Amino acid sequence: MYEVSPRDGLQNEARPVPLEGKVRLIEALVRAGLKRIELTSFVSPRWVPQLADAEELIRTILPRSEGVTYSALVPNTTGLERALRVGLPEIAVFLSASETHNRKNTNKSIARSLETFAEVVPPARQAGLRVRAYISTVWGCPYEGDVPVERSLELAHALLELDCYQVSLGDTIGVGTPLQTRRLLERFLAEIPAPRLAMHCHDTRGTALVNCLVGLELGIRDFDSSVAGLGGCPYAPGAAGNLATEDLVYMLEGMGISTGVNLEGVVEAGRVAERVVGRTLPGKVHQAGPPRVRAS
Amino acid sequence: MYEVSPRDGLQNEARPVPLEGKVRLIEALVRAGLKRIELTSFVSPRWVPQLADAEELIRTILPRSEGVTYSALVPNTTGLERALRVGLPEIAVFLSASETHNRKNTNKSIARSLETFAEVVPPARQAGLRVRAYISTVWGCPYEGDVPVERSLELAHALLELDCYQVSLGDTIGVGTPLQTRRLLERFLAEIPAPRLAMHCHDTRGTALVNCLVGLELGIRDFDSSVAGLGGCPYAPGAAGNLATEDLVYMLEGMGISTGVNLEGVVEAGRVAERVVGRTLPGKVHQAGPPRVRAS
């Protein structure tokens, strides 16, 4: 369980969430038992003013971490310097598998992104940081459509060779279906061990869980999610972006797979998230709650 | 694809939908390519005033059917007489696997429900009608909790012996998870051929699709759904009840499984459904739409 709500969830809020709201959300996530939490991003505050309090947030949260690994996105060497100054134990780098999406999202070509990572990852590793990597638009791109799996695979190899410990494959626009997911992951797993891969599924068309189940059957054990489905709502109000943490926990625990996360605690964190952003969130277990009666 | 929105979707609307709204919805469903549609229920109008126009609706729709099989719920011999008078080709009987839910839903014990079916199904069959059957609360009951699979299995045998052509197993409160679904269906399929079974999943906790995928892998080929997830919202506003037809079509077509149903047509039918009930509906493909770009 890799929780992305403080970063991926809050970066798109029209009204930036104040620091104390972020802290309340993160504290609720920790109470729920989440052990890997992505706090923020060291992008320029001019681009993402919602995350301009990155240093202050990390300085507030880090001393309280007990067995929790916090991370933040780092887009460049300036971001790395900021991460090193506040003493984060882990960072994440990110790019897209499709050229157009990468340019729109990072203002760089894919080749330039890889050059940047070559300047960021080695010094981060030398400083003792763990480095995770994201590849977006692996299942499809909103601008280019289908994305050849070979291109994503090549990028994954490049990121692992830079000594990223894990590459999270993103269905950024939530188009994946189970057969596509099976074919795609089988291609990856033929060359890359499962623990080096994670899945970052969006539930835009309701297929996030079903794609995670396919990944699970193929040996994937690391899944990104966001409490109550916070974040990534590019379409209609109420439309889903990120896979909701509760929905994933509900499915996994119902299959007898221990997540270490408390479902009621995540539901409570989802209520905190709703208060913090001031609107209803789309996650299904979030809205329905855990079953009220399970045994007579 | 067995479409339940005109009946299961509209029976719970606070304001009864006028006849012309129902007709518009059904016409849109037919345009989308749906071939099995449950129109209404012959319950007493005192119990369900929303469906008091059953005869009028069927008389309006039936002459227009072209290759579409229409059905309606029949709770008793009075209902059967009404169905026979309007010339419906198919009816459905229904009960719950849990005693408390059956009493709350039908005001009868399970034993009394089976006695009623023994008065309804044989004359219906003699009159040339196809008879489908529903068993609710197979995955769990909101009052009794876990429901022993042996009880549901026994009911399924009784319904098939009465010459129902298919038994649709209902996860009425949407609690099912993939492992539970696998164990449950394997138990059924050890004794009953797959074409005699259907699944009626609710997406209350986001697991409807994933449970359908498990059923699909085990040989189930008949799935109930409701356009845009119309109906069955017993919890919060926006919470999901019925599995959305679009979400199921999107997954199946994306797996190369031809449903005979046009995804854009179902999305359009979902828009009609929203106008007819005057509120936003929860289906995810309904909200997000089909992918805007699929190939460059």
Q: Is A141 a catalytic residue?
A: no
Residue ranges per structural domain of chain B: 2-288
User: Which residue out of A171, A217, A284 would a mutagenesis test of the B interface target, given it has the greatest number of B Cβ atoms within 10 Å?
Assistant: A284
* Chain B residues touching residue A238 (CB < 8 angstroms): 238, 280, 282, 287
| Closest chain A residue to the Cα of B139, Cα to Cα | A294
Is the domain B2-288 a CATH 1.10.3720.10 member? no
DSSP string across A215-240: HHHTT---EEEBGGG-S---SSTT--
Going by the DSSP 8-state scheme, the letter that residue A295 receives in this structure is: -
A123 neighbors A168 (Cβ within 8 angstroms): no
User: Which residues of B, range 186-225, sit inside 8 Å of A by Cβ?
Assistant: 203-207, 209-210, 213
pLDDT at A239: 56
Q: Do A204 and B284 touch (CB under 8 A)?
A: yes
A148 close to B (CB below 8 A): no
B98 close to A (CB below 8 A): no
pLDDT at B240: 67
Our CA-based measurement puts residue B114 at a distance from the nearest CA of chain A, in whole angstroms, of 24
Q: What is the pLDDT of residues B29-87, one digit of tens each?
A: 999 999 999 999 999 999 899 999 999 999 999 988 789 999 999 999 999 999 999 99
Residue A280: exposure state from Cβ atoms within 10 A (0-12, 13-18, ≥19): middle
Residue B278: exposure state from Cβ atoms within 10 A (0-12, 13-18, ≥19): exposed
Q: Domain A75-285 in CATH: superfamily?
A: Aldolase class I (3.20.20.70)
The count of C-alpha atoms lying within 13 angstroms of the C-alpha of B251, restricted to the half-sphere facing its C-beta, is: 28
- The 10 Å CB-count burial string (b at 16+, else e) for B182-215 is bebbeebbeebeeebbbbbbbbbbbbbbbbbbbb
Mean pLDDT of chain B: 93
* Chain B residues touching residue A286 (CB < 8 angstroms): none
| Rounded CA separation A250/A258 (Å) | 10
* Active-site choice (B164, B201, B212, B233): B233
pLDDT at B239: 56
The ipTM of this complex is: 0.87
pLDDT at A14: 84
Q: Do B238 and A287 touch (CB under 8 A)?
A: yes
Q: What is the pLDDT of residues A50-72, one digit of tens each?
A: 999 999 999 999 987 789 999 99
The structure's pTM equals: 0.92
A280 close to B (CB below 8 A): yes
What tokens appear for A206 in the block?
A: 């309701």
B154 close to A (CB below 8 A): no
| Closest chain B residue to the Cα of A286, Cα to Cα | B205
What residues form DSSP beta bridges with B242? B202
A8: left (phi over 0), alpha (psi -120 to 50) or beta: alpha
| Closest chain B residue to the Cα of A98, Cα to Cα | B296
Q: What is the pLDDT of residues A138-174, one digit of tens each?
A: 999 999 999 999 999 999 999 999 999 999 999 999 9
Q: What is the pLDDT of residues B73-124, one digit of tens each?
A: 999 999 999 999 999 999 999 999 999 999 999 999 999 999 999 999 999 9
Q: Report the pLDDT averaged over residues B266-293.
A: 89
What tokens appear for B64 in the block?
A: 């227009």
